[in-house]
Amino acid sequence: MEEEAKYDRENPIYNGISSFYSNKNNSEKFDILNILDIKKEISQKNIDYKIVNWNEAHEIIKKMENKVSIFENIFGLSISDGSENIVLLNSDLEKVLNGEKTVQINLFEKMENNDSENVFKIYEELNKKEIIAYNIKEYMKKHSNYFDVIISGKNYSFSPLRNKDTEIDYTLRCENYFDVMIASYVLETEGENEIENIIKDELGIEIAPFETEFQKERRKRNFSELSDEIKANFLAIRGFYIYHLEKILKIELKNNGLFDVYEHLESKLIPVLAQMEENGIKIDKKYFKDFENELNEKIDKLISNIHKIANEEFNIDSSQQLGEILFEKMQIPVVKKTKTRYSTDVEVLEKIANNEELSDEKREIAKNLLEYRAFKKLLSTYIEPIPQYADKDDRIHTTFNQNGTATGRLSSANPNLQNIPVRTDDGIRIRTGFVAKSGHSLISFDYSQIELRVLAELSKDKNLIFAYKEDKDLHDLTARKIFLKNDGEKVSREERSIAKVINFSILYGKTNFGLSKELNISVGDAAQYIKTYFEEYPRVQKFLDIVTETAKLHSFVETFFGTRRYIKGIDSQNKNILAQAIRMAVNTVVQGTAANVIKIVMIKLYEELKNDENIKMLLQVHDELIFEVKDGFEETYMTKIKDIMENTVKFEKVPLKANGNIAKNWGLLK
């Protein structure tokens, strides 16, 4: 008898990796009234603090309790042990507002007595403590205590900048830590995880974020004129509440059965990401400059040609002017209008370009406009900005956002490497500019069809399991069923491509109409394809139904490893909202489980490789992991990484398969 699909972590379907969480069902529970009492007590506490000098701080920290919270920003650093709260102010602010566009300031530089040794002593004492922080990853990176102050009119933004001073290492290396940002994210993956939002949600206390509070002050006086009391108060309040949030968040994690997700998965990933950000990846600046020049030449030619066809010069970037040229002067039939003007979006231009009833001239200008926009976007989104993020060694240190998506996948910023196009010519060309340093190569690994393998494992569908156990081509098998092929008949490339779209469409909840649009077929044909799919993989439909019912019953779904997402709209009476919520639920379970697998593997790889000078883990982009390895060691690490990726997580029914490549640049890795 075929095994029943069960979407429930406590049922046998989840027992395959039960050892991953040793205390999953044994978390201590707290009475809700007890939690409310704790929150009330904390919210009513007075926050007393004292401003101390940098040269005496380490002695004070030494006498504080073993558990302390830290909070830093451009004003300085606050440290609290729950009863004693100290603040160290940064006097570099005197130099910030000097009219320059960008100013680099050292957070821990005391202008009257530039004694880096005192700062080192502070970190030395902190490393002996158990640390509570907000976004502790930033404290774990070497030389991260500079801030970039971007000045634009009256708006200021502050972002971490890599410290160029390699002699003094201000790095948090504590073994015991608690991150309130990540804990809050585990509890609510779609919540607002800014520290002020967490304080409001947990304690009911409203404090203004930095931008809100000090925009008002800047209208009155320069930043440097803020009193020490204002700056210290800002730091002390956050440091104090961060300390007390640990207790509350731990209770809530345990009460929700999520503490082990925090402790064994998300918390362990923090130092992994810190090291990857610190490692960075090298770029070829000359390559990007040459690419920029090439694009500018193409853009100039397109501008000239567009103006020539229009028989006048105009602002191509002005939708209004462009609409008047296309639909009034050139008399192209109007495709679509907004409330105020002609629409000239991509869809409109594509329809004009593909309309064979129009003259060659009219179709050509539309094609030129599409190319122009594509080149401009490529230039402004990737080719010009990316080199600006490089450090003195031409390495880019993107920031990985652990709380950036609701499904658990990582996102990145400064620069955003996740939005580089995948498997397109433009994407490959952009990636080609990311290179290995001299004497090294890049290694790339990703999982083969990990989301479909997860679907097979969770649904327990015998045909899906067979395909992966026997290392068959799933898309070929699906095509044979959809197009009624027998074993002796060959599946064409187009048929396999259609089957691939269908296999993934089921995951993402595509409707008959949606599939028909993507494949450019009738709705009836699309419906028949989907019907045939579920006939071949019947347990998939059962699994989707179970996920839907689970979401409706609990208002949330969980991945194989227990990460949770609350599903908005799952109880809606609106059919469109409900359908979207169901798609979200299924996608979260499958994509979220795949994201969990990659995180678990990253933790294992970090533990195995962190002290190895011959290899560094650099990036995680989508499902791809990228490493930089010393020449001569490629095959050794190819074998090692493949083994870790395929055997760290062992599903009960379905094997995981990892594929790797070696090249000198990222563009050649796939």
**What would the pLDDT profile of 460-474 be if each residue is shown by its tens digit?**
999 999 999 999 999
Number of other residues whose CB lies within 10 A of the CB of residue 448: 15
DSSP letter string, 334-379: P--B-SSSB--SHHHHHHHHT-TTS-HHHHHHHHHHHHHHHHHHHI
Q: At 214, is the pLDDT very low, low, confident or very high (cuts 50, 70, 90)?
A: confident
pLDDT over 80 (residue 367)? yes
Q: What is the pLDDT of residue 223?
A: 63
**What would the pLDDT profile of 377-417 be if each residue is shown by its tens digit?**
999 999 999 999 999 999 999 999 999 899 999 999 999 99
Contacts of 575 (CB under 8 A, 6+ apart): none
Q: What is the mean pLDDT of residues 356-375?
A: 96
Q: Provide the token pair at 351.
A: 């329809």
β-bridge pairing 411-413 and 615-621: unpaired
Helix axes 228-255, 180-187, angle to 10 degrees: 40
Q: What is the mean pLDDT of residues 406-435?
A: 93
pLDDT over 50 (residue 102)? no
Q: What is the pLDDT of residue 424?
A: 87
Give the E-state strand segments of 399-538 in sequence order. Answer: 399-401, 411-413, 434-435, 440-447
**What would the pLDDT profile of 286-307 be if each residue is shown by its tens digit?**
999 999 999 999 999 999 999 9
Q: What is the pLDDT of residue 141?
A: 84
Q: What is the pLDDT of residue 163?
A: 41
Number of other residues whose CB lies within 10 A of the CB of residue 121: 18
Q: At 52, is the pLDDT very low, low, confident or very high (cuts 50, 70, 90)?
A: very high
**What would the pLDDT profile of 537-568 be if each residue is shown by its tens digit?**
999 999 999 999 999 999 999 999 999 999 99
Cis-peptide, bond into residue 387, ω within 30° of zero: no
CA atoms within 13 Å, Cβ hemisphere of 392: 6
Kindly list the structural domains of the chain, giving each domain's residue range(s) and its CATH number in brackets, ordered by start. 32-256 (3.30.420.10), 285-387 (1.20.1060.10)
CA 116 to chain centre: 34
Q: At 28, is the pLDDT very low, low, confident or very high (cuts 50, 70, 90)?
A: low
Q: What whole-number distance in Å separates Cα of residue 552 and Cα of residue 462?
A: 27
Mean pLDDT of the chain: 87
Q: What is the pLDDT of residue 36?
A: 83
Long-range contacts of 157-160 (CB under 8 A, 24+ apart): 158/73, 158/74, 158/210, 159/414
pLDDT over 50 (residue 160)? no
Closest by Cα among 577, 570, 575, 648 to 608:
648
3-state secondary structure of 658: strand
Give the H/E segment covering residue 85: strand 85-89
pTM summary value: 0.88
Q: What is the pLDDT of residue 540?
A: 96
Q: What is the mean pLDDT of residues 131-135?
A: 96
**What would the pLDDT profile of 602-654 be if each residue is shown by its tens digit?**
999 999 999 999 999 999 998 899 999 999 999 999 999 999 999 999 999 99
Helix ranges restricted to H, 221-343: 228-255, 259-261, 267-279, 285-310, 319-324
pLDDT over 50 (residue 98)? no
Q: What is the pLDDT of residue 618?
A: 98
Q: What is the pLDDT of residue 1?
A: 46
